[in-house]
Amino acid sequence: MEYPLTFEQYQQGLSEGKLLGLHCQSCGAYTVPPQGVCRNCQGQNLFPVEVKGEGTIRTFTVIRVAPEGKQPPYVLTLVELEQGSWVMGLLTDRDPEKADMGLIGKRVRLAPHPGNGSLSPGEIQVPKFNLIAD
Amino acid sequence: MREVAILGAAMTKFGISRKSNLEMFAEAGLEAIGQSNLEPKELQALFFGNCLGDFEEGQLHMAPFAHAELGLSLSAPATRFESACATATVAIRHATLLVASGVYDLVLAGGTERAARMGTPLATRTFAMACQAQYEAAAGLTFPGVFALATHLYAHKYDLPLAALKRDMAEVAVKNHSHGSLNPKAHFQKVIQVETVLSGMMVADPLQLLDCCPFSDGAAAVVIAEAGMARKLIKNPVYVAGMGQASAGPLYRQQDLTRVRARETSARAAYDQAGLTPQDIDVVELHDCFTIAEILALEGLGFYDFGKAHDSAARGETTFKGKVVVNPSGGLKAKGHPIGATGAAQVVEIVEQLRGESGARQVNGARVGLVDTLGGDFGTVCNLILRS
């Protein structure tokens, strides 16, 4: 079995402002970020696709005590994409001091450039999201 | 499968220790073996829990050294288990399975951790290594962050004002610190007030310092045996009535963080095996790594409907003489959370409660107890139901 969409490929997509995922030919679900099998039906008939980087903030936090190597404060969010997957990312255009419950349900879009999130050997691109004006 | 019982059960004081992981584990292990009226050479295997010894002390492959510290025989294999915060519970479950199946008659299981030694920045980073490295941890997620995400989702889903939910959560901390004040082995033994919690520094919005358990050092161990052999060795074995363990994927895959699906699956398996329901449980040690975590656990374990446990501590339902006594030891919040030892310490507390040995924090007439341990960002849950 050839891994359907590697982290390296996913990162390459992010660095070009694209969100990549897997489209299941059996059930139609999208799996973003990728994994070995479909997140919905565990099927293995998966094709890499670019998905639209828009979705809705489902929850968030402001990290104020950070892991060694990170500079707090920063806003983390779980975004539900239009395709149904949830993605962990940074919300970079909201002042952490103004991050409140009003964020939940707000629409966001993938920012054109990711952040660098590596703590261990190797670069890691992290999705950044920006709020879409109401 | 054969019936399995717990004999000796021991833990070090939790807190900040100058002793090494191996020294702490030797103290707990030898005490548990001694309580069982056994010599170390009689044990047939060691199920050893440790998470971060490499970062804490530069020590990988700690299990054979623990084996030597205890004086186990060459034929008794020592194997390291790692399931993040559920490490020791998972080690105990696998020890129990191999005794039940007849592979071994008599084994030692437990864990040790020296988390406080790392200091907050490194400890925060290494704990976050239990999140998915490529797609979660890299964004800067921390463990307080995981439960902070769950808290905001809980408030939104159940339409609770965040300030009211935070006050209810503070009551969980107040209750568990109150219990910890009765436990001479607890990391924190001071009573706190709701206002103390609500005036603490913000760690990950909306979790403040006292919403979070501490980084702790400590070890705990239990001797596990086939029930007939246990009855010959000591007068009051505690029996393993049911067990469950379940796994889930990364946080982003789990989506609705107010429902810990691995717990619901694991707990159901444990209740089914024991032939019991939540109403049969007298005392619970559950995974209160954060105040919101106790609320999620009470719902996932079936003590409350979903969305209804948030004011359980405020109503006095989870302390002595309440609906069910939750974390009489002080829980992870006050007793402390040396992650590789935590599950074994939960078992120690339940065993002592079922034997009536808990002194000032004894739950009167406790006959059935439940252990609940969560590993990582909801990826592992392990449950044990014990009975006297």
- Given pLDDT bands bounded at 50, 70 and 90, which one contains residue B109? very high
Distance (Å, rounded) from C-alpha B158 to C-alpha B176? 24
Is the bond preceding residue A73 a cis peptide, omega within 30 degrees? yes
Q: Do A64 and B252 touch (CB under 8 A)?
A: no
SS3 label, residue B241? strand
In this predicted structure, the answer to whether residue A117 has a pLDDT above a threshold of 90 is no
Token pair in block for residue B38: 């056994």
Report how far Cα B135 is from the mean position of its chain's Cα atoms: 27
Contact residues, chain B, for A62 at CB < 8 Å: 202, 204-205
User: Looking at residues A90-113, what average pLDDT do you find?
Assistant: 96
Burial of B159 (0-12, 13-18, 19+ CB in 10 A): exposed
Euclidean distance between CA atoms B166 and B170, whole angstroms: 6
Q: Provide the pLDDT for residue B280.
A: 98
Residues of chain A in contact with residue B201, where contact means CB-CB under 8 angstroms, are 64
> Which residues have C-beta within 8 Å of that of residue B123, sequence separation ≥ 6?
B115, B116, B215
Rounded Cα distance, A49 and A38, in Å: 13
Reading across the β-sheet that carries B380-387, which strands appear in turn? B78-81, B46-49, B106-114, B217-226, B4-11, B238-247, B380-387, B368-375, B283-285, B325-326
Give the DSSP H/E element, type plus range, for residue B24: helix B21-35
Contact, B83 vs B374, CB < 8 A?
A: no
Domains of chain B, with CATH numbers?
1-388 (3.40.47.10)
The answer to whether A61 touches A91, Cβ cutoff 8 Å, is no
CA B150 to CA B132: how far, in whole Å?
17
- What is the model's pLDDT at position A123? 82
Stated as kind and residue range, the H or E segment containing B143 is helix B143-157
- Give the pairing type, strands A86-91 and B106-114: unpaired
- Taking the CA of residue B71 and the nearest CA in chain A, the distance in Å comes to 38
Whether pLDDT at A116 is above 90: no
At residue B77, the pLDDT reads: 98
CB B251 within 8 A of CB B262: no
Mean predicted confidence (pLDDT) in B21-31: 98
Q: What percent of chain B has pLDDT over 90?
A: 100
Q: Mind telling me the catalytic residues of B?
A: 85, 337
List, for residues A67-84, the tens digit of each pLDDT value: 998 999 999 999 999 999
Quote the longest CA-to-CA distance of chain B. Answer: 59
Are the C-beta atoms of residues A119 and A69 closer than 8 Å to each other? yes
Residue of A nearest to B209 (CA): A65
Q: Which of A7, A19, A63 to mutate to test the interface with B (most CBs of B within 10 A)?
A: A63
- The answer to whether B140 contacts A90, with C-beta atoms less than 8 Å apart, is yes
- Tell me how crowded residue B385 is: count the other CB atoms within 10 A of its CB: 24
Chain B residue with the nearest C-alpha to that of A115:
B139
B326-352 residue pLDDT tens: 999 999 999 999 999 999 999 999 999
Q: CA triplet A78, A83, A89: central angle to 5 degrees? A: 25
Query: Which pLDDT band holds residue A119 (cuts at 50, 70, 90)?
Result: confident
**C-beta of residue B113 within 8 angstroms of C-beta of residue A26:** no
pLDDT in tens, B133-190: 999 999 999 999 999 999 999 999 999 999 999 999 999 999 999 999 999 999 999 9
Q: Is the pLDDT of residue A121 over 80?
A: no
Residues of B whose CB is below 8 A from A64 = 201-205
Rounded mean pLDDT of chain B?
A: 97
The reply to whether residue A78 touches residue B145, judged by beta carbons under 8 angstroms, is no
Return the pLDDT at A133.
85
Q: Which amino acid is at B122?
A: L
C-beta separation of B347 from B384 below 8 A = yes
CB-CB under 8 Å, A7 with B134:
yes
Q: Are strands B46-49 and B106-114 parallel, antiparallel or unpaired?
A: parallel
Interface-testing mutation among B120, B147, B149, B256, with chain A (most A C-beta atoms within 10 A): B149
**CB-based contact (8 Å) between A122 and chain B?**
no
Contact yes or no for A78 and B251 at CB 8 A: yes
Note whether A66 contacts B255, CB cutoff 8 Å: no
Q: Can you tell me the ipTM of this complex?
A: 0.97
Q: How confident is the model at residue A122 (pLDDT cuts 50, 70, 90)?
A: confident
Chain B partners of A101 at a C-beta cutoff of 8 Å? 152, 155-156, 162
When pLDDT is cut at 50, 70 and 90, the band that residue B275 belongs to is: very high
First to last CA, chain A: 45
Range 52-111 of A in CB contact (< 8 A) with B: 58-70, 74, 76, 78, 80, 85-90, 99, 101, 104-105
Written as six digits, the tokens of A67 are 């892991």
Q: Are B204 and A63 in contact (CB under 8 A)?
A: yes
- Go through the domains of chain A in sequence order and give each one's CATH number: 7-51 (no CATH), 54-131 (2.40.50)
Q: Which chain B residues contact residue A33 at CB under 8 A? A: 134-135, 252
Residue A127 has pLDDT above 80, yes or no: yes
A120 pLDDT more than 80:
no
A4-59 pLDDT, tens digit each = 999 999 999 999 999 999 999 999 999 999 999 999 999 999 999 999 999 999 99
Per the CB < 8 A criterion, the answer to whether B274 and B241 are in contact is: yes
Q: Which residues contact B351 (CB under 8 A, 6 or more apart)?
A: B6, B9, B222, B238, B386
Q: A122: Cβ–Cβ under 8 A, 6 or more apart, which residues?
A: none
Nearest chain B alpha carbon to A119: B138
- B363 in Cβ contact with B282 (< 8 Å): yes
To the nearest whole Å, the CA of B69 is away from the closest chain A CA by 33
- What pairs with residue B60 in β-bridges? none
* Residue A99 C-beta-side C-alpha neighbours within 13 Å: 27
Report the gap between the CA of B72 and the closest CA in chain A (Å). 37
Which of B133, B144, B255 has its CB closest to that of A86? B255
CA distance B313 to B226: 38
Q: Please, what sign has the CA dihedral across residues B51, B57, B58, B64?
A: negative
Query: Pairing mode, if any, of strands B238-247 and B380-387?
Result: antiparallel
Burial of B323 (0-12, 13-18, 19+ CB in 10 A): middle
* Residue of chain A whose Cα is closest to the Cα of B118: A68
Residues sharing a CB contact under 8 Å with residue A133, sequence separation 6 or more, in sequence order: none
